[in-house]
Amino acid sequence: MVVLVEVKSSMVHLNNNGYEGVVIAINPSVPEDEQLIQSIKEMVTQASTYLFEATKRRFYFRNVSILVPMTWKSKSEYLTPKRESYEHINAYIIVADPHLKYGDDPYTLQYGQCGDRGHYIHFTPNFLLADNLSTYGPRGRVFVHEWAHLRWGVFDEYNTDRPFYMSGKNTIEATRCSTDISGRNVVHQCQGGSCITRKCRRDSKTGLYEPKCTFIPNKSQTAKDSIMFMQSLDSVVEFCTEKTHNREAPNLQNKMCNRKSTWDIIKESADFQSASPMKGTAAPPPPTFSLLKSRQRVVCLVLDKSGSMDSIKKIWGTHLSRLTRMKQAAELYLIQIIERESLVGMVTFDSTATIQNHLIRMTNENSYLQISAKLPQRADGGTSICSGLRAGFQAITSSNQSTSGSEIILLTDGEDNQISSCFEEVKDSGAIIHTIALGPDAVRELETLANITGGLQLFANEDLNDLIDAFSGISSRSGSITQQALQLESKALTIPGKKLINGTVLVDSTVGNDTFFVITWTTQKPEIILQDPKGKKYTTSDFRSDDKLNIYSVRLRIPGIAETGTWTYTLSNKNGNSQLLTVTVTTRARSPTKLPVIATAHMSRNTAQYPSPMIVYARVSQGFLPVLGANVTAIIEAEDGHRVTMELWDNGAGADTLKNDGIYSRYFTEYHGNGRYSLKVNAQARKNITKVNLKQPNKSLYIPGYIENDQIILNPPKPEVPEATETATMEDFSRLTSGGSFTVSGAPPGGNHTPAFPPSKVIDLDAEFKGDHLHLAWTAPGNVLDKGRAHKYIIRMSRHFRDLQEDFNNNTLVNTCGLIPKEAGSKENFEFIPETLKIENGTKLYIGIQATNEARLVSEVSNIAQAVKFIPPQEPSIPDLGTKMPTPSLTIFVFVATLFIF
């Protein structure tokens, strides 16, 4: 079994059963509303008591910070944030508009494996302010449902795509946990002002209920579980346990957690292991709240100029020092990445430190040039990182700013055995430290500074554009999309002597503001011709450079808004020898009203111990909407320069949790020795294929109605995205992003290791009868997890779900001698007649699959698929049921899948 545990720094922690450091951050686009803060307080207070009861007196919320935007008016009760920010991983809960006219469903961005923490909970202002009691239940209960996703990595126990299944007792059941929750399965239809409610009929193809059938729960219940199914019911105050868990239900909890109950997963969490039930207290103390107001961004560059920075790397016959490459990247960051109105300072250090610039407000290009002019020209001396950090703090405080909540970008390539001497001082400062390790010799404790302060950790190898990409990854954290710099291109090009090279850059219609083209070289400035989509040309003389800095770099800022379409460039090498050139293009959102496509990336963990695998994640979105069908590529580079390039998939197989959620994933196992690895991701649209998904996956359940006093009381209809417009085609785009760095230990040098991993588990097996044939479909795993081609498949079937689940190897083996596995990620289809079992009307079969590789390593057993042989009888007409309705024009649509996944 592959075990993956996501490890992240976080201010959220348990202190004597109480959660502290929880941050609820309000997006800058949300208008000021005092009632919103009051509603948040009421929700959390209600959630705290409910959480305490649900976890058997183990957890509650002790203190919560509410972060309001900088755009709101200042008030005496608003405090200055410390390490809290909207984009920070500590902003566990965000309040933001949905950027879509359909619905306000709360949801958790959760795409890790079972037990992995999610990324954030998203509430909309409308959800927090409107009367949602009948459709979602009390807000505090909804919060606990989402908190379980976020904190403990459990999944939903309902399934709106597969709302019914055939149980082992040959009864049709609603997908739920536990099965003790009672209700009716009905179809409600309205036509011409007349509405009827009737019993559900069975579908002639599946034997289940017809697609319009929905489960309406009884308002009054005796069942106490489960919060991950329908927390809105008054009786539901617990999570499903091993005794009450419904293992048969085709829901994501069973699929992702090997049919374990939510309470079993919670019990395995670090929170549970460190907390015993509280004694002697009827209820926990109410949460305390702090109101914080975002402030202008404060950043100080702390740059290494010690002797090792004069180290020269021979690149394509040219010598270029680390100091020069640092200056190239730092200038780009100052001029192109850091947002306007930020306060920025700079410190350089060797064995001692010097404040080159106290904080300067970035109001125009001259402000940026004022700082970049002080970039160091010489490198010598030793390395004292703590001296650099202390000088950074001084540069901030001497400008009447607090170190608390300020950011420091620390770059170093050297060793320093005294670095730990200032760890406590750094903790106490409240500053966020982003670390950039340049080259293989940077001190190993560098990442600790990032981890203890919630900063980013980045690694740049000796390649020319690695450092530029690392700096580009440290962008705005305010939540304001217009402030965030986006990278469209970052390319290194080798040009032979006296030759030229052509290239293109795509500027889509969502971006184009503040667009920069930057060219760097290693020997001699090339001749440059840049042409916009309408034919306007820019030449070398249009590109600016700072000759005094001697940084082998020129830049062009496109006036106004860059033209939409394909830009072309020609670079001519006038030198007789080959040289390496880089092309970097950055831009910002075209307007505040049109959201750009964003790509973000990270690894499943910051550290890996061989032979544990990791997962690469990339999220491609427009606002909060997933972008589907993009071509997403990850580039992972080890310290020795070895690169692995891999395509990431959003296919709901292998490492990917959900299909079509805009999260592209893949296992990574190709370790090439110990040390630091960097991650970069390139996301591009595929012409006429890439779409934006207008339906938010993995959201809270919208309750269609209740049965009360034997009457069906329906809620108002939920706005639905019409089937024909569930997705919208995207124009072409291109994005690059840094995913930070991670460290590996225990790996053999040079990648000399035999595969230690079996094929990945099949998690999307489908089965259905087609006449007398049983048709199976699934996504092919690989030879090593999701890479390569498996050696063979083992398929077994049984009439009984539990037999296949508990003793797979002793069930009926299917003849697969003609089934040759395809390449990982391909769609597999296999049909056979189950001759060894008697098949008749009503026959129900369960099927599972394993894959093996040539090393005879065997995958986990797949999800268990169910197929039912069903010949529908003639059904008599069914009388209507009594119904109480709030509106005469109400139709409930719930789509039933024809297949089952457990």
DSSP for 598-662, please give it: EEEEEES-SEEETT--EEEEEEEEETTEEEES-EEEEEEEETTS-EEEEEEB-BSSTT-SSBTSS
Output the pLDDT for position 312. Answer: 73
Output the pLDDT for position 10. Answer: 56
- The torsion region of residue 103 among left (phi > 0), alpha (psi -120 to 50) and beta comes to left
Q: What is the DSSP string of 492-518?
A: EEEE-TT-EEEEEEEE-TTEEEEEEEE
Beta bridge partners of 494: 580
Output the pLDDT for position 520. Answer: 92
Cα 715 from Cα 184, distance rounded (Å)? 15
Query: Residue 380 CA to chain centroid, in angstroms?
Result: 42
Name the E strands within 55-158: 60-61, 63-68, 93-95, 107-109, 120-123
**857-879 exposure pattern, b = at least 16 Cβ within 10 A, e = fewer:** bebbbbbbbbbbbbeeeeeeeee
Which of these is catalytic: 53, 77, 84, 146?
146
Output the pLDDT for position 386. Answer: 97
Q: Do 697 and 652 form a contact (C-beta atoms < 8 A)?
A: no
Task: Indicate the angle between helix axes 139-152 and 34-54, nearest 10 degrees.
Answer: 70
Active site residue 823: no
Tell me the pLDDT tens digit for each residue of 406-415.
Answer: 999 999 998 8
Name the E strands within 709-843: 711-714, 727-729, 734-745, 766-770, 773-779, 792-798, 812-813, 827-832
Tell me the pLDDT tens digit for each residue of 478-497.
Answer: 667 778 899 999 998 889 99
**75-101 exposure pattern, b = at least 16 Cβ within 10 A, e = fewer:** eeebeebbbbbbbbbbbbbbbbebebe
Output the pLDDT for position 873. Answer: 63
Cα 167 from Cα 189, distance rounded (Å)? 27
Those residues of the chain that have pLDDT short of 50 are 1-9, 89-90, 315-317, 724, 876-902
CA–CA distance from 816 to each of 110, 477, 763, 773, 846 (Å)? Answer: 36, 53, 19, 14, 17
Q: Do 601 and 738 form a contact (C-beta atoms < 8 A)?
A: yes
Q: How many CA atoms lie within 13 A of 511 on its CB side?
A: 30
Burial, 45: exposed, middle or buried (Cβ in 10 Å; 0-12, 13-18, 19+)?
middle
Output the pLDDT for position 316. Answer: 40
Structure tokens at 902: 């457990």
Burial, 471: exposed, middle or buried (Cβ in 10 Å; 0-12, 13-18, 19+)?
buried
Cα 565 from Cα 456, distance rounded (Å)? 33
Going by DSSP bridges, is the β-strand pair 553-557/597-603 parallel, antiparallel, or unpaired? unpaired
